[in-house]
Chains A and B, each alone.
Chain A
Amino acid sequence: MSAMGRWLKKLAVLLRREKFSGELDEEMGFHVEQVAREFEAGGMAPEAARYAAMRQFGNATRLKERSHEVVGFRAETVTQDVRYAVRQLRKKPGFAVTAILMLALGIGASTAIFGFVDAAMLEPLPYAQPNRLVDVAERAVVFPRSNLSRADFEDWQRMNKTLSSLDAYEGTSYLLRMGAVSEPVPAGRVSDGFFATLGVQPVLGRDFLPGEDKPGGAKLVMLTYGTWMKRFGGRRDVMGQAVSLDGDPYTIVGVLPQNFAFQPRANAEFWTALGDKTGCEKRRSCHNLYGVGRLRNGVTVEMALADLQQIAAHLAIQYPGSNKDQSASVQPLSELIIGQVRPILLTLLAGAGLLLVIACVNVASLLLVRSESRRREIAVRGALGATPVRLVRQFVTEGLLLAIAGCGAGVLTAVGIIALLKALMPKLMLDGAPFVRNVGLNAHTSLFAGGVAVVAAAILALTPVLRLAIRDIHGALSEGGRGAASRFWRRMGANLVVVELTIAVVLLAGAGLLAKSLYRLLHVQVGFDPSHVATVQVMAPDKAFPKPENWVQLYPVIKNRLLSLAGVQAVGITSDLPVQCNCDTDWIRIAGKPYHGEHNEVPERDVNPEYLTTVLKARLIEGRMFTNTDDMKHPQVIVINQTLARKYFPGQDPVGKMIGDIKLSPDSMRQVVGVIADIRENALDDQPWPAEYLSIYHGPDNYFALAVRTAGDEKALLPEMVKALRAINPNLGVNGEITMADQIGNSPTAMIHRFVTWLVGGFAGMALLLGVVGLYGVVAYSVSQRTREIGVRMALGAQRSAVHRLILKEAGLLAGIGIALGLGCSVAMGLLMKSLLFGVRSWDVSTLAGVAAVLGVFALLASFIPARRAARVNPVEALRAE
C-alpha cells in the first residue's frame, strides 16, 4: 500500500479517534471474556478466571497504547508528551517561571545587542555598494587624518586614476531665516557629485549638476527629508523656491530620501553646493574639507592610497610652503563610521553572550536538580512499560517547551531592550550611528534568536537525557534516590557553578574596569573650574555684521548685557570652548630657532581677558594674563600653555620671546606675555597639546562661544542668557546652550564611556545574581541530599559547628575556584578591551581584589543559609526520615 494510502487511513482513524478507541476496547474485552469463559468452563471460580484471562492477555493499557501508536501519527504521541510536559511544568510553576525568566533575560539581552552589532557591522551604510566607498583625507605629521584644502581636493580630483569619482564635503551651519525668526541650523557643503558618489538619488527634484559647485555659480540647496517635512510641510511646490541661509537666497533643487544619513554630518538639515570659496578655501594651506570617493573596479584601498600619496608628494614639491609633509589618508568609509563603535559593540556582545551562557547553565542545573527529584517518577513510568526512548522524549519535550517559551519571552525582552537602548543612547552617539535606526526585529535578529533558542533547547533537552542515560531504573526504584547518581550530579552541578562564578567574575571585573575608567575620565585635570559656568554658541551673520569691526563692537555689548543679569559675575568670550577638540589649529614658528618647514600645529583660542581669569580661573605660571588694553591699538601678544612652553622653550623662559607664522611675516609676530597651566581643550581621553591663546580683539571672529560665570544656578541662567542675547539683535544666531559641567560630563567621550559602563555593569549585576543563585542552589541541594549523612555524623558526635564548616568548606571551595579562574580570565579580557579603558590597566589590582571580595561575600551569604540549615539537622529525624 502506498504511503499516501496509509496516511489517509491514519487520518481517518485520527478523525474518529473515539470510535477507534471504543472498537479496540470492545474487541479486546471480547477476547478476555472468551478466555475467561474457557477458564470457567475448565472449573475455575469466575473471579479467578477473569484474572487469569487478563494475565494471559497482557497489559491491556500498554497494548492499546501500542495499537494507537501503530495507527497514530507521530504527532499524536508528541501532543501527549507536550500535554504531560505542560502539566509537569505547571505543577512546579516556580521552576518553570524561573527557567523561562532566565532564558528570556539571556536570549533577550544577547539578541538585542546582536541587533546593534548586526546593524553596525553588516549594513552600516545606506548607500549603493558601500564597500567600494572610501574616506579620503590628507595626512599631516600630527594628524593621521586631517582635512583636505579645497585646492588640494581639486587637484586630487583631477589627477587621481584609482577613483571613479572623488567628492568633498564640509560640516557647517547656516543662520536660517524663516519669517521673522533666525535660527542656526546644521548643514553640509558638498561638491556637485557628492550624492552621486554615494549612490543616493533625490526623492523629489534633482541632484546638483556637474559644475554647479564652481565659484560664482547660483546658490543651490537640497533638503533632507526630515527638514522638508518639518519646515516645509512636505509641500512639493517648494522646488525652485528660495530659502534664506546666512541672508543669501538659496534655490531648493531637491529633497533627499527619508533613509539618507551621512554620519560625519548626521544632523545636517540643508546640503548646499560648495560654490564660492570661503576665506579659508582661497588658501591652499587652510584645510576644511573631507573627501569621499568611489573605487574604480578592481582597485583596492591600498592602490588608491598609493595613487593619492603620489599626487600629494607631487603637490608637496610644487607648493612647499603649504604642502610640505602633507600626505594622503584613504580608508574604507565604513571604517570611519563604525571604527569607533566597533570595540564597544563587541564588548557588549561578549557581555551579553556571557550572560546568556550563565542563564543557560543556571537553567540546566535547575533541570538537573529536577530530574534528580523525579527519579522515582521516571522509575515508576519505566516499570509500567514506558520505553527508554519514550522517557527520553518526554524530557526532550519538556526542554523544548521551556526553550520555546523562553525564546518567545526572550524575543519580547529583546524588543524591550532595543527600545530602551535606543532611548538611553546618547543623542550624539545616535547621530554618529545612523544604522541604529534600523535596529529591530528583522531577518538577521530573528535568525540569531532562533539559533540561540535551538542551542538553548539542545542544552535543556540533553542535560537530563545525559543524566538519565547513566542510571538504571531498577536501582533507582529500589534504592530510593541516592548513591552514585547523586554524586554524579553533585560533581556536574559543582562544575556548572564554577563556570557561572567564573563568568560572573569576568563580567564584574569588566564592569569594574570600565567604571574606574569612567571615574578617571571624569576626574581628568581639566585645568579650570567648571562649576557655575554656563556656555552658549553665538553667530553674528555676515549681513548684519559684515566686518571684523562690527564683531569687535559686538563683544562689549554682549558682555555688558549679560553682566546685567542677576548673579552673573564675569563673561568670557572664546573662539572655542574647552574639552572639545584640538581643532582650529595654527602653524607656528619660533623666532630665532632653526626651522625646516615643519608644521608645528597648535590649537589657537581667541579669548577676551575675563575668559581665562575670572571665568575659567586658569592658573598663571609666569608673566601676565590678557588685559583690556590688548586690543587693535596695541601690539599682538600671546599667552601659551605649559605644554607649549615645555615643548618649544625647553629650559628657557618663554616670556618675552616672539612667535609668528611659518614665514615669520611681520604682521603675524606676537610676543609671549604669559604661561598658564594646561587647560584641557581636547577630548578627556587624549593627551594635552601645546596651545596658544590670543586676544579676541586681535583675531576677531563672527562665530564664537560665551562662557559665563554666575554666583547662582548656572542651569537657570541658560534660558535667560539666550533671551538676553536675542534681545540684543534678533539676527544673532544663538544655540547650544549648556552648562560647563554638562559639557564635560556629556562630552562624547564621557557619554560613550558612561553608556558602556552602565550596560556592562547591568550585565555584571545580573551575572552576579544568577551566579550566586546557582551557588545557593547547588549547596542547598547538596545539603538536602546529605541530610542522612549529616545525621549520622551528628549522631556519632560531630559538633554543629563542624557541620557548618563542612558545608561552608564545600561552598568556599567552589567559590574559590570560580573566583580564581575568573580573575585569570579577567586579565585576558581586560587586554582585549584595552581600547575602552582609560587610565586603568587590565590587571588593575584594586578592581580585581574588589571583584573577588564582592563575589566572595555574596558566595558566603549564599552558602550561609544552607549551611545553617545543615547544622540545625536533627539527627534523630534525619535518620528516621529514610
Chain B
Amino acid sequence: MGNKSELMPGTLDMLILQTLKRAPLHGYGIAQSIKRVSDEVLTVEEGSLYPALQRLLLQGWVKAEWKMTETNRRARFCTLTAAGRKQLGVELSKFEQMVTAIGRALRDAEEAG
C-alpha cells in the first residue's frame, strides 16, 4: 500500500467521466476500474465518489438508472451523456496543458539548478 498516491484535486470528476466513456458502471465498478487501470497507484477515498457522482448528475454530464448486476443485485448504473463527453474533452485538454506546464517548469528548474 506504500506507493498509493493522493489524487490531484479536481481530477476525480475527470477520472469518473473517463471511466464511464468505456461502459456504463455503478459506483463500486467505477472505483474498481480506476484502481485497476492505474495499477492501484491511484486510489480514492472510495466514498468520495458519491458526492462527485451527484455533482456530475446535477450538471447533466452523467445519466443514471437502476439496473440489475450480474450477481442479481439492484445497482445504479451511470452513463456518460453527450454533454459529459464534451466536458471530458475540455477537462482532458486543460489537464494536459497543466501537465505540460508543470513538466516544463520542473525541467527549467533542473537546468537552472
Chain A residues near B58 (CB-CB < 8 A):
1, 6, 9-10, 70-71
Known: A1-B59, A5-B60, A58-B45. A28 touches B50 (CB 8 A): yes
Q: How far is the CA of A5 from the CA of B75 in the complex (A)?
A: 25
Chain A residues near B55 (CB-CB < 8 A):
70
Which residues of chain A in 62-87 are interfacial with respect to chain B, using CB atoms and an 8 Å cutoff? 63-64, 66-67, 69-71
Q: Is the CB of B47 within 8 A of A59?
A: yes
Q: Is the CB of B26 within 8 A of A57?
A: no
Chain B residues near A9 (CB-CB < 8 A):
57-58
Q: Is the CB of A66 within 8 A of B51?
A: yes
Q: How far is the CA of A399 from the CA of B29 in the complex (A)?
A: 46
Q: Report the interface size class on chain B.
A: 20 to 34
Chain B binder among A29-37, A165-173, A497-505: A29-37
Q: A56 contacts the other chain (Cβ, under 8 Å)?
A: yes
Q: Is the CB of B51 within 8 A of A58?
A: no
Q: Is the CB of A1 within 8 A of B50?
A: no
Q: How far is the CB of A50 from chain B (nearest CB, A)?
A: 14
Q: Is the CB of A56 within 8 A of B46?
A: yes
Chain B residues near A10 (CB-CB < 8 A):
58
Chain B residues near A34 (CB-CB < 8 A):
28
Q: B22 contacts the other chain (Cβ, under 8 Å)?
A: no
Q: A653 contacts the other chain (Cβ, under 8 Å)?
A: no
**C-beta contact mask, B57-95 vs A, less than 8 Å → 1, else 0?**
111100000100000011110000001000000000000
Chain B residues near A69 (CB-CB < 8 A):
51
Q: B31 contacts the other chain (Cβ, under 8 Å)?
A: yes
Q: How far is the CA of A713 from the CA of B27 in the complex (A)?
A: 98
Q: Which residue of A lies closest to B83 (CB)?
A: A1
Chain A residues near B28 (CB-CB < 8 A):
30-31, 34-35
Chain B residues near A56 (CB-CB < 8 A):
45-46
Q: Which residue of A lies closest to B30 (CB)?
A: A31
Q: Is the CB of A71 within 8 A of B54?
A: yes
Q: Is the CB of B26 within 8 A of A70?
A: no
Chain A residues near B73 (CB-CB < 8 A):
30
Known: A10-B58, A67-B54. A27 touches B76 (CB 8 A): yes
**C-beta contact mask, A1-37 vs B, less than 8 Å → 1, else 0?**
1000110011000000000000110111011001100
Chain B residues near A60 (CB-CB < 8 A):
47
Q: How far is the CA of A1 from the CA of B28 in the complex (A)?
A: 26
Q: B3 contacts the other chain (Cβ, under 8 Å)?
A: no
Q: Which residue of B lies closest to A2 (CB)?
A: B60
Q: Is the CB of A30 within 8 A of B51?
A: no
Chain B residues near A57 (CB-CB < 8 A):
45-47
Chain A residues near B75 (CB-CB < 8 A):
27, 30
Q: Is the CB of B59 within 8 A of A6?
A: yes
Q: Is the CB of B46 within 8 A of A67?
A: no
Q: How far is the CA of A59 from the CA of B48 in the complex (A)?
A: 9
Chain B residues near A26 (CB-CB < 8 A):
74
**C-beta contact mask, A283-317 vs B, less than 8 Å → 1, else 0?**
00000000000000000000000000000000000
Q: How far is the CA of A34 from the CA of B27 in the complex (A)?
A: 11
**A1, A5, A30, A67: which contacts B26 (Cβ < 8 A)?**
A30
Q: How far is the CA of A58 from the CA of B51 in the complex (A)?
A: 12
Chain B residues near A5 (CB-CB < 8 A):
60
Chain A residues near B74 (CB-CB < 8 A):
26, 30
Chain B residues near A63 (CB-CB < 8 A):
47-48, 50-51
Q: Is the CB of A27 within 8 A of B51?
A: no
**A6, A27, A35: which contacts B50 (Cβ < 8 A)?**
A27
**C-beta contact mask, A685-709 vs B, less than 8 Å → 1, else 0?**
0000000000000000000000000
**C-beta contact mask, A532-553 vs B, less than 8 Å → 1, else 0?**
0000000000000000000000
Chain A residues near B54 (CB-CB < 8 A):
67, 70-71
Q: Is the CB of A31 within 8 A of B59?
A: no
Chain B residues near A28 (CB-CB < 8 A):
27, 47, 50
Q: How far is the CA of A59 from the CA of B73 in the complex (A)?
A: 24
Q: Is the CB of B76 within 8 A of A23?
A: yes
Q: How far is the CB of A605 from chain B (nearest CB, A)?
A: 91
**A6, A31, A67: which contacts B51 (Cβ < 8 A)?**
A67
Chain B residues near A1 (CB-CB < 8 A):
58-60, 83
**B26, B60, B83: which contacts A27 (Cβ < 8 A)?**
B26
Q: Which residue of B lies closest to A26 (CB)?
A: B74
Q: Is the CB of B46 within 8 A of A35?
A: yes
Q: How far is the CA of A407 from the CA of B83 in the complex (A)?
A: 49
Chain A residues near B45 (CB-CB < 8 A):
56-58
Q: How far is the CB of A856 from chain B (nearest CB, A)?
A: 61
Chain B residues near A24 (CB-CB < 8 A):
50
Q: How far is the CA of A840 from the CA of B48 in the complex (A)?
A: 75
Q: A: which residues have CB within 8 A of B? A: 1, 5-6, 9-10, 23-24, 26-28, 30-31, 34-35, 56-60, 63-64, 66-67, 69-71
Extra A-B contacts (7), CB below 8 Å, given A35-B46, A58-B48: A6-B58, A6-B60, A57-B46, A58-B45, A58-B47, A63-B51, A69-B51
| 25 A–B contacts, CB within 8 A, in A order | A1-B58, A1-B59, A1-B60, A1-B83, A6-B58, A24-B50, A27-B27, A27-B75, A28-B27, A30-B28, A30-B74, A30-B75, A31-B27, A31-B28, A31-B47, A56-B45, A57-B45, A57-B46, A57-B47, A58-B45, A58-B47, A63-B47, A66-B51, A67-B50, A71-B58
Closest 9 CB pairs of A and B: A58-B47, A1-B60, A66-B51, A63-B47, A70-B54, A58-B45, A31-B28, A57-B47, A67-B51
